[in-house]
Structure formats: structure tokens, C-alpha cells
Amino acid sequence: MALEDVYRRNAHHKTHRAGWLRAAVLGANDGLVSTASLMIGVSAARADNFLVTAGAAGIAAGAMSMAVGEYISVRSQNDIEESDRLLEMEHLAVDPAGELEELIEIYMNRGLNRELATEVAKAMTERDALEAHLRDELGQFPHTKARPVQASIASALSFTAGGLIPFAGALAPTLGTKVLSIIGFTLAGLIGTGVLSARIAGSSYLKTTIRILIGGSLGMAITAGIGSLVHLTGI
């Protein structure tokens, strides 16, 4: 099979999105839930005059926090991968025979007999020994490599987009309380996030959406309870 055919077949898989998809989904969900929870908590505490300010501040602070936190965590993952890469290079230089045997054992554990495993390991070593060990021993693949800057930007933008949904609920005209409007907008946003997440990841729409809905609703309910408790106790 030609190399371009391999790339074309692999394009249908979703693993190449792993470097940014997790950050984007986390950011959108966190933006929805944390902003809505903050505003619901403030409203439940009967501090409606502070509601919009709290929501805007929550979006700005949360987006920056998500961006910085995501960058640091993903960058740490990159550092670990690079450290493993340097260590593997050292092992190959010091003990190439031992590293070849290690590859043979890996392929045998995957079901090949020793003769075939030896043949494959030698072919992989001759082609690119370091790549073979990074891939088959450590599970490092170029298309799943974490991307700190991309993840940071995706996280910040998706958090802001998610946070603006409950914020819009607070500003929308309503016949009832602001809390109901915020909850309604947020639930719609959570459903949208679940559908979009499932579509990008190629997973089940129903399971993904229900999981996100339950988690988000639980977060809002707990925060509303705390806000009501603050109001009742007069803290």
C-alpha cells in the first residue's frame, strides 16, 4: 500500500484531534458550567445587582485560567515525552542489542512468533530504531502529540464561547427569575456542546450529551444550593 494511501485511510480516524479536542471540550463545558454556577449562586444569594458583573468577571478570569492551566499541563506532558525520547536515544547508543531484544519481546507479546518478531524488529530498527521504540515501546505517535499552544487557545476560546451562553441568559428578557433564564440557556448550551463533541470525536450523540447534561446540571444544582444557604444564613 502506498504511503499516501495510508495517510488517506488514517484521515478517517479521530486520534489526530487528540492534541486539542480534549482542551476544547473541557473549555466549553467549564465555561458553561462555571459561569452558570457562579451566576446562579449569586442570584440564589439574592445579589441580583451584582449578577452581570460577576458573570463578566467569571468569563474573563476563567478563560485566562483555562488557557494558562492548559498550557502548563500540556507542556508538562511534552517535557515527559522529550525526556523519554532522550533516554531512549541513550539506551540505543549504549546497548543496541538489548534494545533490539526488547522490540522482539514487544512484538512477541502482541502475538508474533519469535522468528517473525525478530524479522520485524530488525526491519524496524534498520529503518528508524528510535521511531520504532517511541511508537511500539512508549506509545508516542506524531499525530497524537500534545500541542500546548493550540490546546491553550482552544481552551480559552471555547471557555469564553461557553461562558457567554449563560451570560446571555442573564441579560435576556424573562417573565420569571433570572435563575430560570440562566438555567434554560445553559441546558441548551450543554446539549449543543454534547452534540458537537460527539460529532468531532465520532462517539455516540446520546451518551455524550447525557453525560455532559448530568455533570453540568449537578454542578449548577450544588452551587445554587450553596447560594441559597448563604442567603438564608445571612453570611
The DSSP call for residue 83 is: H
**Is residue 53 in some structural domain?**
yes
Residue 71 lies in a domain: yes
Report d(CA 183, CA 221) in Å as an integer. Answer: 10
CA diameter of the chain: 77
Q: Which of 35-44, 55-64, 114-123, 149-158 has the lowest mean pLDDT?
A: 35-44
Range of the domain at 152: 18-230
Does the pLDDT at position 7 exceed 60? no
Nearest to 150 by CA among 12, 17, 59, 61: 17
Which of the two residues, 5 and 172, has the higher pLDDT score?
172
Give domain status of residue 110, yes or no: yes
Q: What is the pLDDT of residues 152-182, one digit of tens each?
A: 888 888 888 888 888 888 888 765 677 788 8
Reported pTM: 0.60
| Distance from C-alpha of 197 to C-alpha of 115, rounded to nearest angstrom | 45
Rounded to the nearest 10 degrees, the angle between the axes of helix 18-44 and helix 51-94 is: 150
Task: State residue 115's pLDDT score.
Answer: 92
Asked whether the predicted pLDDT for residue 129 surpasses 60, the reply is yes
Q: Tell me the C-alpha distance between 150 and 82, whole Å.
A: 18
Domain total in the chain = 1
Q: According to the model, what pLDDT value does residue 234 have?
A: 55
Please classify residue 216 by burial: count the beta carbons closer than 10 Å to its beta carbon, then call 0-12 exposed, 13-18 middle and 19+ buried: buried
Residue 118 has pLDDT above 70, yes or no: yes
Q: Does residue 7 sit within a domain?
A: no
Residue 1 located in a structural domain: no
Do the domain assignments include residue 3?
no
Is there a contact between 161 and 33 (Cβ–Cβ < 8 Å)? no
* pLDDT of res. 47: 54
CA dist 146 and 167 (Å) reads 31
For 136, residues 6+ apart whose C-beta sits below 8 A from its C-beta are 103, 106, 107, 124
For residue 132, give every residue at least 6 positions away whose Cβ sits within 8 Å of its Cβ, in sequence order, or none.
103, 121, 124, 125
Residue 35 has pLDDT above 80, yes or no: no
Looking at residue 68, its amino acid is: V
Query: Which runs of E-coded beta strand occur in 21-133?
Result: none
For position 123, what pLDDT does the model report?
A: 92
Give the model's pLDDT for residue 11.
43
**pLDDT mean over 123-142:** 85
Region 185-208: what's the mean pLDDT? Answer: 86
| pLDDT per residue as tens digits for the range 55-108 | 777 777 777 777 777 787 777 777 778 888 888 888 889 888 988 998 899 899
Give residue 116's pLDDT: 92
Better pLDDT: 10 or 192: 192
